[in-house]
Amino acid sequence: LSMIQEARPKNTLAAYEPKQREFRDFCERKQYQDADTVTEDKLLLFLTEEVADRPLRAKSLKAAEDTPLQATRLAWRSVRSYTTAITDLYRTQKALGMNAHPSPREDNISDLFTFEFEGEGPTRCMPLIFTTRAGKQNQHGRLETAGALRNKNPLICMLGGLAFYLLYRWDIAADEPFPDL
């Protein structure tokens, strides 16, 4: 963990540390029993009470000259940067064994499907298509969609890897029941 944090760019540290300190101060003011342990509920409360509707600390160059500082608000990108910083704090707590809660920002695959490309050669061509609603922010805020094809090399075949993961998760490890679809 320390190697990862040492290799992290300085600008990332400079962006995350004040936001994480703000979250810790918020938790201290609220007098939570588990202190600054990151949970989804705490993150949501922090964002709604402290971040989302807060005026800017310094006047933006984009704001009109006659707009008072109290009338300005953070952009949604700034709110997302708070979410990213607190999620990083969660990952650190999780890596140190200090947080058993589920991730406050789960990367969900919202859609996973396949279909057959007919007439695409002597063997069946079945791409795996998935769409995710979470993940890295893109320039236009659209859904991210990706696809993968089978590969004869099992070390790089995404479909084979997914099949083994699902087999392991719900059959071999069986730590949780199969989801009720």
- Domain residue ranges of the chain, discontinuous segments joined by +: 2-95, 109-173
State the pTM of this model: 0.57
Output the tens digit of pLDDT for each of the chain's 181 residues: 677 777 888 888 899 999 999 999 999 999 999 999 999 889 989 998 988 877 776 656 566 666 665 666 677 778 888 888 999 999 899 988 998 888 776 655 567 777 777 877 777 777 888 776 655 555 556 667 778 887 888 788 888 888 888 788 777 876 667 666 5
Residue by residue, DSSP assigns the chain as -HHHHHHS-HHHHHHHHHHHHHHHHHHHHHT-TTTT---HHHHHHHIIIIITTPPPSS--TTS-TT--GGG----HHHHHHHHHHHHHHHHHHHHTT---SPPTT---EEEEEE--BTTSSSS-B--EEEEESSSS--TT-PPEEEEE---SSTTT-HHHHHHHHHHIIIIII--SPPP--
